[in-house]
Amino acid sequence: MYLKTGRVIKVSGPLVMAEGMEEANLFDVVRVGEQRLIGEIIEMRGDKASIQVYEETSGLGPGAPVVTTGAPLSVELGPGLIESMFDGIQRPLDAIERAAGDFISRGVEVPSLDREKRWHFTPTVNVGDEVETGDIIGVVQETSIIEHKIMIPYGVKGKILSIQEGDYTIIDKIGEIETNKGVLPLTMMQKWPVRKGRPYSRKLNPIEPMVTGQRVVDTLFPVTKGGVACVPGPFGSGKTVVQHQLAKWADAEMVVYIGCGERGNEMTDVLNEFPELKDPKTGEPLMKRTVLIANTSNMPVAAREASIYTGITIAEYFRDMGYSVALMADSTSRWAEALREMSGRLEEMPGEEGYPAYLGSRLADFYERAGKVICFGKDGRVGTITAIGAVSPPGGDLSEPVTQATLRIVKVFWGLDAQLAYRRHFPAINWLNSYSLYVDNTGEWMNENVAEDWSDLRLKAMALLQEEANLEEIVRLVGIDALSEEDRLKLEVAKSIREDYLQQNAFHDVDTYASLEKQYKMMKLVLKFGDEALRALKAGVYLKEILNMEIRDRIARAKYISEDNIGAIDEIFVELEKQIDDLISKGGIMND
């Protein structure tokens, strides 16, 4: 197909204006200049196109040729995705480095997925089978952990004419299908335009928790498989650690991690660290179930804008196979800044703090692509995407536009608090202002699957934390002497909830993860101390004596009891009752 060449008329950083583009369409990918820089048309007016260029535009000037590829920005989907690291427009970082040295040189053409590598394909359908969109026709054991399902692409329907087991590249023909448009070859790769959500049969209400092993998350502010959450917090408050912990521990089958242009060295850290991470469940490298999208700081701002779409499209593809996928974006603020910069260069009317008026709807479009769905395909399988976006509000000010727009969409808010981080209370999730709108549903699930009093214990813990805040206010006003012994005991129990339960060290071998069973036992123990202490107090024992009990130390260290030994927590229960009984009988004598 011959397409007319346009000409650059203006270059403004990553934004290029071109004329003579009447044959191109909005959202077409174009090649700009002699260097064939990759760009995307983000606005069309008559024959003039505004192009967001994903590579450095220095040296580019008026008159340079622009050609459209006639296709929208798309990703390649097929075996080879897992363990890959891509930039924001799905260029493989290692292949690019090999082709161009340390810096990604401009206009480099590297296919997203390896064209040479052979994968062992095993058909799961037979010749003569009728198949349609989403039907699984075969599998590839892509990594030791993940079986890649090969699916009939969108819009294709017909009868399998041939299909063979064997070792194929992603572009080899693995079979043929007879459709009403004729016979088509079947391959293991498909493409999808990133700005469009991949379709599914039906959306379901996400009610099952995504267990993360992080106590403050699972117990107080749970997220569901298919849920949406955000983690806002100032610099250094622990956003990245939270995201990494979830990548490692969440009970999702696949992880898509989008490192969205946080400070340059931080991205390099991700690129270095992720390949080192072990999957705790299998002992294999975590990368064996991870796709990494990284915008390093030497990449232009526009690539960041695209990266979250590239990431979520890949997540949707694995969801379509029936997997549970966890998607992290760190940080969506950097993405929003890219959006703001492009909007500014387009001279659009700025909204709040210079962000475009469509910031909220763009964010909603992104999070809307998460969820729990019945996938296309005859087997009616269910897949989920849980999306967790970090937000970096400047100065930690939650009233800024990106945080506010995000809070209007997501159902879980883990508010990281600079004060808590400063006091080294980690994860620094503020229990007073954070929330989860899934808690009713997950509570039922927990009651059925973990323990019937799970929700009661959670409520009790939340109430104590709230009471602590109220009592502290009174102490601030009139001093600790104004409090009764019972109130002082409440403060102690709340402190124990915070320090012995909510605080969790991501870098401690045992403490880094707590199963729901362990969380339940620990929570029950901390609250049990409160009940038992109250019993003693009422029997006339001095609070001071109760607080000096040796057992408290064991309660505090319960978090370090390993998963294969959690019965040891039950022993602390027994010992607690015994020590309280002893105090009461001793106290009884003293009081006589």
Whether residue 137 contacts residue 161, with contact meaning beta carbons closer than 8 Å, is answered with no
Q: Which of residues 418-477 bind ligand ADP (CB under 6 A)?
A: 426-427
- Nearest residue to 568 via CA among 531, 523, 522, 530: 522
Of the pair 240, 310, the CB lying nearest Mg ion is at 240
Is 233 part of any known ligand binding site? yes
396 belongs to the binding site for ligand ADP (CB under 6 A): no
- Tell me the closest approach of the beta carbon of residue 419 to ligand ADP, in angstroms: 13
Q: Which is nearer to ligand ADP, 105 or 505 (CB)?
A: 505
Q: Which of 7, 505, 542, 566 binds ligand ADP (CB under 6 A)?
A: 505
Identity of the amino acid at 214? Q
Residue placing its CB nearer to Mg ion in the complex, 214 or 240:
240
Report whether 234 belongs to an annotated binding site. yes
Give the nearer residue to ligand ADP in terms of CB position, either 236 or 380.
236
- Which entry of ligand ADP, Mg ion, none binds 573, CB below 5 to 8 A by partner kind? none
Classified as helix, coil or strand, 20 is coil
CA dihedral 76, 78, 82, 85 (to 10 degrees): -20
| DSSP labels, 345-372 | HTTPPB-GGG-BTTHHHHHHHHHHT-EE
385 CB-near residues (< 8 Å, 6+ apart): 226, 312, 315, 316, 319, 325, 326, 327, 369, 370, 371
237 is in an annotated binding site: yes
Contacts of 95 (CB under 8 A, 6+ apart): 110, 114
507 makes contact with ligand ADP (CB under 6 A):
yes
Minimum Å distance from CB 330 to ligand ADP? 7
- For ligand ADP (CB under 6 A), the number of binding residues is 14
Site string for ligand ADP, 229-258 (x = CB under 6 A): ----x-xxxxxxx-----------------
Q: Considering only residues 42, 207, 450, 506, which one is a binding residue for ligand ADP as defined by CB under 6 A?
A: 506
CA distance 112 to 107: 14
**Which of Mg ion, ligand ADP, none sits in contact with 507, Cβ below 5 to 8 A by type?**
ligand ADP
Assigned token pair, 54: 């994903």
**Spatial contact of 302 and 54, defined as CB atoms under 8 Å apart:** yes
Q: Which CB atom, from 267 or from 526, has the smaller least distance to Mg ion? A: 267
Taking alpha carbons only, the member of 274, 209, 222 closest to residue 248 is 274
The answer to whether 240 is a known ligand-binding residue is yes
Q: What is the largest CA-CA distance in the chain?
A: 103
Residue 511 CB, shortest distance to ligand ADP, in Å, is: 9
| Angle value at C-alpha 536, between 531 and 542, nearest 5 degrees | 125
- Which of the residues 67 through 126 are near ligand ADP (CB under 6 A)? none
d(CA 127, CA 93): 39
Contact window for ligand ADP (CB under 6 A) among 350-358, 370-378, 499-507, 563-571? 499-507
User: Which residues sit opposite 193 in a β-bridge?
Assistant: 74
- In the complex, which residues of this chain contact Mg ion (CB under 5 A)? 239-240
Q: How far is the CB of 392 from ligand ADP (least distance, A)?
A: 7
CA distance 197 to 65: 32
User: From the list Mg ion, ligand ADP, none, which binds 261 (C-beta under 5 to 8 Å, kind-based)?
Assistant: none
- Identify what 233 binds: Mg ion, ligand ADP, none; CB under 5 to 8 Å per kind: ligand ADP
Residue 236 binding: pick among Mg ion, ligand ADP, none (C-beta 5-8 Å cut-off by kind): ligand ADP
What ranges make up the beta strands (E) of 187-267? 190-193, 202-204, 228-232, 254-259
Q: Quick one: tokens of 55?
A: 């590579």
Which of Mg ion, ligand ADP, none binds 241 (CB below 5-8 Å, type-dependent)? ligand ADP
Indicate the residue among 91 and 215 with the shorter CB distance to ligand ADP.
Answer: 215
Is 15 or 416 the residue whose CB approaches ligand ADP more closely?
416
Q: How far is the CB of 577 from ligand ADP (least distance, A)?
A: 32
The partner residues of 291 in beta bridges, in order of sequence, read 256
Residues of each annotated binding site:
233-240
| Binding region for ATP | 233-240
Query: In the complex, which residues of this chain contact ligand ADP (CB under 6 A)?
Result: 233, 235-241, 426-427, 504-507
